[in-house]
Structure 1
Amino acid sequence: MIKGPATVTVDGACDVLGSDVSGKTITVRAGKALPFEPRGRCRLRARLGRGGSMWLADPAKAGVSLWRGITQELTDLVGNKKTTVMLVGETDTGKSTLSVYLANVMLNRGLVPCIVDGDIGQGDLAPPTSIGAAVLPRQVTDLRDVDASLFEFVGSTSPAGFDRFVAKKLRSILDRVGPLGDTCIVNTDGYASDGGIQYKLMIASELQPDAIVCIGDNPELLGAFQGGPWQVLHATPSGQASKSRYERASRRLDQFLRYVGSGSHAVELSRIKFVYMDRLFSPSEILRPPIVQLEPENLKRMFVGLGSAGQIVGFGIITGITPHSIFVQTDVGSFDRIYLGNIRLSRDRAVEVRIA
């Protein structure tokens, strides 16, 4: 196992999550742990960054041997029909890692996998507050190496109070990406206790997946899906997936900034509609804001989605607002809607500020 930040050069035959990395140099991002599994003679040369580490792991607790049986069942399920697989489990059980491995195995078998990342707090295919989806044309070791093609904007990093809205947006993005591949793998967040189980049942009811994979030792979560119209599978959690609070916060901030870009655009307010949880607001309502998200002090430095023709085309940070114009840091050149959320970034863009 190698935990980032690290750069690993592979001399010999080796796999990472079902992807052949023989003779390649692999970047392991900070906070991410990947299983390098040699085939025969192989030498790994790792340059570790601050906080990076490497160790020999027990195959019973790490690597793809944990999930070969599950993956075989799921690929057999696909066959010649469109299939949706939903992954659920608590935080740090390996949902994202399993989704990558499953997608890589399907690619090996000539299938085209799509991944929907529904973790609005710690997703890999979209910035926090959002849902991302992508068709995988090639094998990968980290979903953050994939350029997502479809987005939905939620506006919160927590499903609390947004549960039905998240389920609705997951259905929308699944309808859009589903026809592009043979199977859709839907990854969900780690909210899996107390009300989290009802939330996951709500999502399953909305998506109607063919199979639900419950990762980890949560009998209540596993039992909640029994008896539904889907196949239920239980997967062993990865014992190597845990992240510290600092690593989690750093990865989330990196995702925010990755999608903002360095460009700056000024747009006339008269050309913009504001959207919050699918409700439209006109620029004139900033003068007497009906919601706190439209208050000028809250708009400044708010992380937002940017839309055109009814679709999310990118993201940005509102840097300023006047009676006639709004200024957004973004690389998106043209947009006519700004999707508002509950998260602002501090002036130095180093800290999240939640809007009450």
Structure 2
Amino acid sequence: MDVPPAWNRITISALEGVVLIVGATDTGKSTFARYLYRRLYEHHERVAFVDGDVGQATLGPPTTLTLALGEPGDDAFPPAGVRYRMFVGATSPYRHMLPLVVGAQRLVEKARAEGATAIVYDTTGLVDPAHGGGELKMALVNLLRPSAVVGIQRRSELEYLLLPLRRSRRTRVIDLRAAPAAQRRDMSTRREYRAAQFRRYFQDARPLRLPHNRFAVFPSPQFAFRRLLALEDQEGFALALGIVTGGDLGAGWVTVLTPLPSLEGVDAVHLGDLALSPQTFTKPEEGV
């Protein structure tokens, strides 16, 4: 990888705890996050990576936040250690910000409990303040208390957020320009990437009979054909995702397409706000 000189000028030894990576879509944000993850192993025994982009996820299926823990002393990416997921249930943080920030906090807490002393958090590309991008990023700053916020800008699109943070002592701001090699992707390319991520996730999925009246169902048992859901453990982490493919609601069961082999360990069913074709893994309105 051709590393921009500005990346090499960052004092990596000064970074610890949560490092929040902020930038609009297609600015090289995720590429920098991966670079930083590997560099942090020069100064930390165990580093964690949180993929916080529910729409263009890299370490898990869209609609989820994924924590990947590196093994002690192993800077390989993707991290080889255990993974934990929180289900947001949508491919955009817009109108889903509360479950996103709750999931972020839960994953960071888990990373610390597992012994990670540095945590790279790659945020979603939503930065437009008119759509809540600023409020979301400030909520993450206030909740996660990052030691540093890395702001990656093409021009000055993040100044509304970074300027007050530079004047505050609550965190350190590291300013970077968008990577020259970063290429803009149109909406159709981004949709196809999401579908490919879902296809990869569900490639070994099988139908599983789910007697939903035996489990807690959040927010309510409104099952519908093609609805995406998560099967969660007692801590609220997603064991697996599933797509409703049939069933008999009156009899208290549905069939879900899922990579989970059995219901062992399942404590609750969490219904998302997304309908997904089990054949094409696209939203119905996007065609097949």
For Structure 1 versus Structure 2, the TM-score category normalised by the shorter chain is 0.7 to 0.9
1:161-191 Cα offsets, whole Å, 9 max, x none, are 2223311211111101123312001110111
Q: Paired residue for 2:200?
A: 258
Structure 1 contact 93–237 (Cα < 8 Å) conserved: yes
Q: Paired residue for 1:132?
A: 66
1:227-280 Cα offsets, whole Å, 9 max, x none, are 33101110121122222333211211122232233222112232222113xxxx
Which structure shows the higher strand fraction? 1
The separation in 2 between residues aligned to 1:254 and 1:140, in whole angstroms, is: 23
The separation in 2 between residues aligned to 1:99 and 1:185, in whole angstroms, is: 7
Unaligned runs of 5+ in 1: 1-15, 17-34, 36-62, 287-293
2:107 maps to which of 169, 173, 186? 173
Q: Percent identity?
A: 24
Aligned residue runs from structure 1 range 155-234, under 5 A: 155-179=89-113, 180-194=115-129, 195-216=132-153, 217-218=155-156, 219-228=159-168, 229-234=170-175
Structure 2 contact 64–86 (Cα < 8 Å) conserved: yes
Q: CA deviation at 1:110?
A: 5.4
Aligned pair 1:319/2:245, yes or no? yes
1:34-54 Cα offsets, whole Å, 9 max, x none, are x4xxxxxxxxxxxxxxxxxxx
The separation in 2 between residues aligned to 1:140 and 1:245, in whole angstroms, is: 31
Q: CA deviation at 1:130?
A: 1.0
The separation in 1 between residues aligned to 2:201 and 2:259, in whole angstroms, is: 9
| Bigger Rg, which one | 1
Structure 1 contact 259–314 (Cα < 8 Å) conserved: no
Q: CA deviation at 1:307?
A: 1.2
TM-score scaled by length of structure 1: 0.69
The separation in 1 between residues aligned to 2:284 and 2:76, in whole angstroms, is: 33
Aligned residue runs from structure 1 range 54-203, under 5 A: 63-70=3-10, 73=11, 75-78=12-15, 82-109=16-43, 111-137=45-71, 138-140=74-76, 143=78, 149-179=83-113, 180-194=115-129, 195-203=132-140
Q: Paired residue for 1:351?
A: 282
The separation in 1 between residues aligned to 2:199 and 2:228, in whole angstroms, is: 10
Structure 2 letter corresponding to 1:191: L
Unaligned runs of 5+ in 2: none
Q: Secondary structure at the match of 1:220?
A: helix
Query: What is the aligned-residue RMSD (CA, Å)?
Result: 2.2
> 1:107/1:221 Cα in 2 relative to 1: closer, same or farther (>3 Å)?
same
Q: CA deviation at 1:224?
A: 3.8
Aligned length: 268
Report which structure shows greater RCO (CA 8 Å, sep ≥6): 2
The separation in 2 between residues aligned to 1:184 and 1:350, in whole angstroms, is: 31
